[in-house]
Chains A and B, each alone.
Chain A
Amino acid sequence: MTHDVIGKPSPNVINHQILTGSAHYLDDLKMEGLLVGKILYSEYPCALIKSIDTSKAKELPGVVAVITHEDVPGENNFLLQEPDQPVLMKDRVNYLGDAIAAVAAETEDAARAALDAIQVDYEPLAGTFDIDTALEDGADQVLPGYENIIPANLYERGNLEEGFQEADVIIENTYQSQWIEQAFLEPEGALSYLDLEGNMVVYASNQAPFRDRKQIARSLNIPEHNVRVITPYVGGGFGAKDEIHVQIHAALLTQITGRPVKILRTREESILTHVKRHPIRVYHKLGATKDGKITAVELKAVADTGPYMNAGLHVMWFVGTVGSGPYYLPNVRLETLAVRTNNPIGGAMRGFGGPQVALAYEGQMDELAKALKMDPVEVRRINAVQSGQVTPSGSIIREAGAVPASIDEATRMIGWEKLDEVERQPAPHLRRGWGMSTTWFVVGLGRGQDNASVIVEMATDGSVVLRTGAVEMGQGVFTTLGSIVAENLGIGLDSIRVISPDTDITPDAMQTAASRQTFMSGNAVNKASRVIRQSLLEAAAEETGLPIEILDLKKGKLVAEGEELSMTIPDLAAKATLTNKQMYASGFYVMDFPEEKTEEGTFYAVGPSAFGTQIAQALVDIETGEIQVEKLIAVQNVGKIINYGGAYGQMEGGCIMGAGYALMEEMLVEEGKTLNDSLESYLIPTAMDIPETEIKLLEIPEPFGPFGAVGIGEPSMLGTAPAIANAVSDAIGKRMTEIPLTPERILKAIEGEEE
């Protein structure tokens, strides 16, 4: 079937606003009588609060309100999973991002002066800054009343002992990843005000407007229907805007002052406070026969999650879910857990634990190949999961064709068969190597736990308003959803306006995370669009007298058996409206995959699968330890490209984020304190740092996806760091188990020192 819009290289639907500077982000919003809000963050990563004295701050000129925990009328905590993080601290601080007080003032200077004038008397405590200390018997509770260990998964299948006995070779390593920062370009912010009826309106740079509404209502002790959350343009999120940041604080200040308040985090505050990618230690023991067939895997992943649960449990569940990688493991023990410390909070970041565990399982596959003197491609092919097989977490893989297909395509693109002819040592001090990674990602929040709604409305002139709760934060979801409408209704993208999330106007699409909106909201949009499509076709059939089955809508026109008729979509829209056809439709989609029977039992797919393969070519200077990634090949199955520019853009951007993760990014956290708290000291890739990339997207359809589409935002970066680590390990002949691959680590590895 040929499409007019789906998969075609159309411009982004918001390109005019973005390119002319007229797109309004949070900080661009203005309001009469707006107060400047600021937050006092903790001075210590772990301390008792003896007293908080705000009296001097309150007396300063220009200061309108100073609030503490005493001013929270509802629940003084918020609840992505466990409501263990206070909105404003009372008698203790647990990390340097804890908020103690919030101020609202007429000017920024007055707000700063108020923060300076708040007197907090602390009694510093020793604190717990590494997972091993937190795990010790009798260790202090990082968060009093909560165990330090947050157990996530324990998946066991087959007989691990027998599996290892069958093995001819055992590969055992421990992999370690680092704290990293999302470093979106727009720091977090919120603007709150009371509307004329007294409802609390909160604009926020966020990823989860409806969950924000719930959390704001809960802390303000007002019904959710009296809270309205609106998402303006969002300057990147990558997971860190999935949880509440300053929304509740702004709303509390508005509740108390009755005035509009804007809180914007500075870059430093942004880095110090929001959730980070978890550093995860992954122990991995793999047994295989001499033919390369895996017989057993034992995996234990332990994450430093900071003091609060946030998404820590979910991230570690996800590590457990995808910890097998795209391989069939007959005998397995897979354990994951998060551990509380007084470090920054671990939470959602693009990939959600996937990149950390892929570093381990893909390192192991290369080590297996090396031990058996086999081609790394072969060990992956031999162990690749097949359609219909079941993973350690009990999820059935419905369609695994993208595993071999992506391996085939990536190896073809790099010329894998002829790499022997490429110089491995182009100069005495240089070593070249190649590394591949094949990865598995599960899109969405999980079967039975994921739904999305949308509203599509066609006006009498044939133009469409699409109301979505999905957040456009750069990934291109507005263009993706608009393309699905356009294709169904035979109109162009320029006839569609997408309304950004507004809890009073748009329906709930749940959070924009887990690479789920193309699949979830895409399906919802498809359903809603088809209702309106049916209305247009019925109107056309009535008008023309032709049977509805032969009619179609294409490029603005009514089409009968491929032949363009004179009626246009605007004609049909007008006609359908006049003849009482439904022109406003909501679409609702629940991820509810059917159960499937296999030899092992009855299973279902936990979510749609995204598979891909990446290959890196790296050149290492063995004198300086410097790495140049000369080439990065990335092949990913997206099921079906809907938004061409968005899909390739996600893949490209994900690879570069992955390269930064592999090579240069690391939040340096010492005794709970982030040392590199600016974009000058926390380095992300610049235009000068990026490798040459070559990208190919595959279209092996996901049976339940809209037009067969799956999701790409996060899968894009899963394989990059493992591929680069494997390439560097291949170049120097030593296994790199820790990222980032700094020159110091490379030189140490070459010298053979244990880290």
Chain B
Amino acid sequence: MSKIEIQICVNGEERVVQTTPDRTLLKVLREDLNLTGTKDGCSQGDCGACLVIMDGKAVNSCLVLAAQADGAEIVTVEGLAENGELSKLQQAFAERWGFQCGFCTPGMLISSYVLLQSNPDPTLEEIKKALAGNLCRCTGYKPIFDSVQMAAEVNQEVSHDA
């Protein structure tokens, strides 16, 4: 298959990748760029473990062809930490035990991050809706809701302080 060249900005870094048109963004991230934090749970867009942010929106990277991502700005779980420290959102997941096996966690973090970007003070219903495409088999979700709520509260405090 003939190669194509795509250029994507991943976690703030410009990357050029030679790939074939049939490969997904998920494969490019995991295999070519060695960003293995994003997980492949089903390859069919059913589980949400492979969610990344593409131009501000959460997308299942297993359903996006690499060519579609050409020129896009991508954020993966590896891009969430701030200056090497866990972000407020990640800290909240740590403090509220918002993960167990951790396999769905990258996707959960991405969905939560996108939610809080557009809605810094979401209701429980809004959190549930934002996470509706992310399957988790371990936690029963409630600790994840608590984590997102805690992150939102911390953000509110920070913005009130400012």
List the interface of chain A (C-beta within 8 A of B): 11-12, 14-25, 27-28, 30, 182-187, 233-236, 238, 266-267, 473-476, 645-646, 648-649, 652-657, 678-680, 684-688, 690, 693
Is B101 a contact partner of A185 (Cβ separation < 8 A)?
yes
- Residues in A neighbouring B136, C-beta threshold 8 A: 185, 687
| B-side contacts of A184, CB under 8 Å | 101, 103, 137
Q: Which residues of B contact A654 (CB under 8 A)?
A: 140
| Cβ–Cβ contact A18 & B142, under 8 A | no
What distance in Å separates the Cβ of A499 from its nearest Cβ neighbour in chain B? 18
- State whether B93 touches A21 (Cβ < 8 A): no
Shortest beta-carbon distance from B82 to chain A in Å: 11
Q: Is the interface of A mostly helix, strand, loop or mixed?
A: loop
Task: Looking at the assembled complex, report how far the CB atom of B3 sits from the nearest CB atom of chain A, in whole angstroms.
Answer: 14
A12 touches B141 (CB 8 A): no
Which of B46, B97, B139, B144 counts the most A-chain CB atoms under 10 A from its CB?
B97
CB-CB under 8 A from B77, the residues of chain A are: 19-21
A-B contact list, 14 entries, CB within 8 Å: A14-B102, A15-B94, A19-B93, A19-B94, A21-B37, A27-B36, A187-B41, A474-B100, A649-B143, A653-B138, A656-B141, A656-B142, A687-B144, A690-B140
Check if B24 is an interface residue, CB within 8 A of chain A: no
A646 near B141 with CB under 8 A, answer no
Expressed in whole angstroms, the minimum distance between the Cβ of A636 and any Cβ of chain B is: 14
* Partner of B140 from A12, A182, A186, A655 at Cβ < 8 Å: A655
| A693 with B103: CB separation less than 8 A | no
Write the nearest CB–CB distance from B42 to chain A, whole angstroms: 4
Tell me whether B135 is interfacial, beta carbon within 8 Å: yes
Residues in chain B near residue A267, CB distance under 8 A? 41-44, 46-47
Kindly state the interface size class of chain B when it binds its partner.
Answer: 35 or more
Q: Is B57 an interface residue (CB 8 A)?
A: no
The minimal Cβ–Cβ distance linking B99 to chain A, given in whole angstroms, is 5
Q: When chains A and B are docked, how far (Å) is the Cα of A28 from the Cα of B100?
A: 18
**Is the CB of B129 closer than 8 A to any CB of chain A?**
yes
Counting residue pairs across A and B whose Cβ atoms lie within 8 Å, the total is 169
Q: Is the CB of B95 within 8 A of A684?
A: no
Question: Nearest chain-A residue to B86 (Cβ)?
Answer: A19
A24, A28, A649: the one within 8 Å of B97 (CB):
A649
By Cβ-Cβ distance, the 8 closest A-B pairs, closest first, are: A21-B37, A474-B101, A235-B103, A656-B140, A474-B100, A645-B97, A18-B102, A21-B77
**Is residue B81 within 8 Å, beta carbon to beta carbon, of the partner chain?**
yes
Which residue in chain A gives the minimum CB-CB distance to B44?
A678
Q: Which of A25, A186, A233, A684 has the most CB of B within 10 A?
A: A186
The reply to whether B106 and A21 form a contact with Cβ atoms under 8 Å apart is yes
Q: Which residues of A contact B47 (CB under 8 A)?
A: 185, 267, 679
* CA distance in complex: A184, B139 (Å): 12
Q: A27-B40, A690-B140 given. 11 additional CB < 8 A pairs?
A: A11-B95, A14-B102, A16-B94, A18-B102, A19-B77, A21-B76, A185-B49, A653-B137, A653-B138, A679-B41, A687-B136
What does the 1/0 interface line of B1-40 toward A look like (CB < 8 Å)?
0000000000000000000000000000010001111111
Chain A contacts of B102 at CB under 8 A?
14, 17-18, 23, 233, 235, 474
Complex Cα gap A648–B98 (Å) = 11
A234→B86 CA distance, assembly (Å): 22
Question: Which residues does chain A contribute within 8 Å of B93, judged by CB atoms?
Answer: 15, 19
A267 and B62 alpha carbons, distance in the complex (Å): 13
Chain A CB within 8 A of B55 CB? no
Closest to A20 in B: B81
- Whether B104 contacts A185 by the Cβ 8 Å rule is yes
Residues of B contacting A186 in the complex (Cβ-Cβ under 8 angstroms)? 39, 41, 101, 103
Q: Which of B37, B97, B128, B137 contacts A185 (CB 8 A)?
A: B137
Tell which of B38, B78, B138 has the most Cβ of chain A within 10 Å: B138
Residues in chain B near residue A30, CB distance under 8 A: 34
B132 at the interface (CB under 8 A from A): yes
What residues of B have a CB within 8 angstroms of the CB of A19 in the complex? 77, 86, 90, 93-94, 99, 105, 109
The interface residues of chain B lying within 8 Å CB-to-CB of A688 are: 128-129, 132
- In angstroms, Cα B102 to Cα A289, docked, is 51
Which residues from B are CB-within-8-Å of A645? 97, 143
Q: A12-B94, A19-B109, A267-B41 are in contact. Are A475 and B86 (CB under 8 A)?
A: no
Docked Cα-Cα span, A12 to B40, in Å, equals: 23
Chain A CB within 8 A of B131 CB: yes
| Choice from B41, B43, B133, B139 contacting A649 with Cβ under 8 Å | B139
Produce 1/0 per residue, B71-87, CB < 8 A to A. Answer: 00000111011000010
B37 surroundings in chain A (CB, below 8 A): 20-22
Nearest chain B CB to A464 CB, angstrom units: 21
Name the B residues within 8 Å of A182 (CB-CB): 137
Q: Tell whether A687 pairs with B137 under 8 Å between CB atoms, given A23-B102, A185-B47, A652-B142.
A: no
A679 touches B135 (CB 8 A): yes
Most chain B CB atoms below 10 A, which of A21, A680, A688 = A21
